[in-house]
């Protein structure tokens, strides 16, 4: 046994249930490691700093939480410039990030930590506006402006507790549809410039989102070196409601108002500024530049192939 792990636990993940889940799993983790150091987050951004400081001093830095925790830990590791791999123990609400990396259960997570393999995955470098000026962050799954950001803003922690990890996003969709106002968006890629009162603009690195309930970027893979870009023209509420099943089943690219193609970069601007969602959280606003960074994140995964 030679594993030296730094474990970052987010007790607020999973609508506040992760602390209890971690208490049941801690002994297994201790038995797995020759050396184990544990730290707990106390607010947004804390996991980034903890991971950045731990990188290079341990065999892996393990995120214990949901998608937000995994994203923060991954960002800290990338910021460090080290190649310390990310480990994942999924105890959050959706756990989409873990699923996309082939970790479909807590058992598979322990398999990966105990003796899996290290694989390098792509990330999306996102440069965007924030309350403290220009910011840079890496997305593991997607970055979106327009309706996608509204949907995530309307899917609150309380709704996740009441409706569960899958149904909560369907309820959030209805709430977002009622409140969303389509402002002018402009999206630029190597395929051209698209502008107007666009409904949704998204760069996807993985297929699924929303507790694996929405096939947001069909065909996307986190190791193919490209983004799957989706631009949806203006939709009224009835059109959006009627075509909701297409978003869940991944058939929306066939709709005449949807442009769907691969690329390496997407620039998004708007008037006025529009919220920007990254990996399940609304973190900033436009203008934003989204760029694929191939193989930028090492992750401990099971020997099973990535789904």
Contact 92, 12 (CB under 8 A): no
What pLDDT is recorded for position 2? 59
Same domain for 163 and 44, yes or no, is no
**Cβ neighbours around 13 below 10 Å, total:** 27
Would you call 148 exposed, middle or buried from its count of C-beta atoms within 10 A (0-12, 13-18, 19+)? buried
What pLDDT is recorded for position 1? 42
In a domain, 241, yes or no: yes
What pLDDT is recorded for position 97? 87
Would you call 161 exposed, middle or buried from its count of C-beta atoms within 10 A (0-12, 13-18, 19+)? middle
**Cβ neighbours around 295 below 10 Å, total:** 12
Domain endpoint, select from 60, 82, 115: 115
Same domain for 189 and 271, yes or no, is yes
Instruction: Identify the CATH number of the domain in which residue 11 sits.
Output: 3.40.50.10330
Domain that holds residue 98: 4-115
> What average pLDDT does range 226-246 have in this prediction?
92
> What average pLDDT does range 7-28 have in this prediction?
89
Which residues touch 80 (CB under 8 Å, ≥6 apart)? 51, 52, 55, 56
Highest mean pLDDT among 97-106, 159-168, 285-294: 285-294
In a domain, 304, yes or no: no
Mean pLDDT across the chain: 90
What pLDDT is recorded for position 304? 56
In a domain, 162, yes or no: yes
Phi, psi of 174 (to 5 degrees): -65, -45
> What average pLDDT does range 179-195 have in this prediction?
92
What pLDDT is recorded for position 271? 86
Same domain for 164 and 261, yes or no, is yes
Give the DSSP H/E element, type plus range, for residue 114. Answer: helix 106-115
Contact 124, 138 (CB under 8 A): yes
> What average pLDDT does range 236-249 have in this prediction?
87
Angle, helices 147-154 vs 157-179, to 10°: value is 140
Beta strands in 140-246 (DSSP E): 142-146, 184-189, 192-196, 200-204, 227-232
What pLDDT is recorded for position 160? 75
Domain endpoint, select from 90, 115, 140: 115
Q: With 70 as the cut, is the pLDDT of residue 259 above it?
A: yes
Same domain for 89 and 130, yes or no, is no
Phi, psi of 121 (to 5 degrees): -120, 155
Same domain for 165 and 279, yes or no, is yes
Minimum mean pLDDT among 79-83, 87-91, 210-214, 245-249: which range?
Answer: 210-214
Domain endpoint, select from 115, 148, 169: 115
Query: What gap in Å lies between CA 92 and CA 17, rounded to an integer?
Result: 8
* Residues 30-58 pLDDT 10s: 988 888 999 999 988 999 999 999 999 99
> What average pLDDT does range 129-133 have in this prediction?
78
Strand 35-40 vs strand 4-9: parallel, antiparallel, or unpaired? parallel
Same domain for 212 and 177, yes or no, is yes
> Which candidate, 213, 181, 10, 179, places its Cα nearest to that of 99?
213
Number of domains in the chain: 2
Same domain for 131 and 273, yes or no, is yes
Instruction: Identify the CATH number of the domain in which residue 209 sits.
Output: 2.60.200.40
Same domain for 157 and 284, yes or no, is yes
């Amino acid at each position: 046994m030679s594993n030296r792990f730094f474990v970052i636990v987010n007790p607020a993940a999973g609508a506040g249930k992760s602390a209890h889940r971690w208490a049941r799993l801690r002994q297994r983790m201790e038995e797995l490691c020759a050396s184990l150091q544990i730290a707990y987050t106390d607010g947004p951004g804390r996991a980034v700093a903890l991971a950045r400081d731990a990188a290079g001093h341990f065999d892996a830095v393990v995120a214990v939480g949901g998608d937000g925790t995994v994203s923060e830990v991954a960002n800290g590791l990338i910021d460090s410039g080290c190649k310390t791999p990310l480990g994942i123990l999924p105890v959050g609400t959706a756990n989409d990030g873990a699923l996309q990396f082939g970790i479909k259960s807590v058992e598979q997570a322990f398999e990966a930590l105990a003796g899996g393999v290290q694989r390098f995955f792509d990330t999306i470098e996102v440069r965007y506006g924030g309350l403290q000026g220009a910011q840079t962050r890496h997305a593991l799954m997607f970055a979106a402006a327009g309706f996608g950001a509204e949907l995530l803003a309307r899917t609150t922690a309380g709704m996740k507790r009441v409706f569960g990890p899958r149904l909560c996003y369907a309820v959030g969709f209805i709430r977002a549809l009622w409140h969303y106002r389509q402002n002018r968006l402009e999206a630029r890629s190597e395929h051209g410039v698209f502008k107007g009162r666009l409904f949704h603009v998204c760069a996807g690195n993985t297929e699924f989102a929303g507790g694996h309930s929405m096939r947001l970027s069909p065909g996307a893979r986190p190791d193919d070196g490209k983004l799957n870009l989706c631009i949806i023209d203006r939709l009224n509420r009835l059109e959006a409601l009627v075509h909701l099943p297409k978003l869940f089943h991944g058939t929306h690219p066939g709709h005449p108002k949807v442009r769907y193609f691969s690329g390496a970069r997407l620039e998004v601007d708007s008037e006025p500024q529009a919220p920007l969602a990254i990996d399940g959280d609304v973190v900033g606003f436009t203008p934003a530049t989204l760029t694929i960074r191939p193989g930028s994140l090492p992750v401990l995964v099971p020997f099973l192939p990535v789904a």
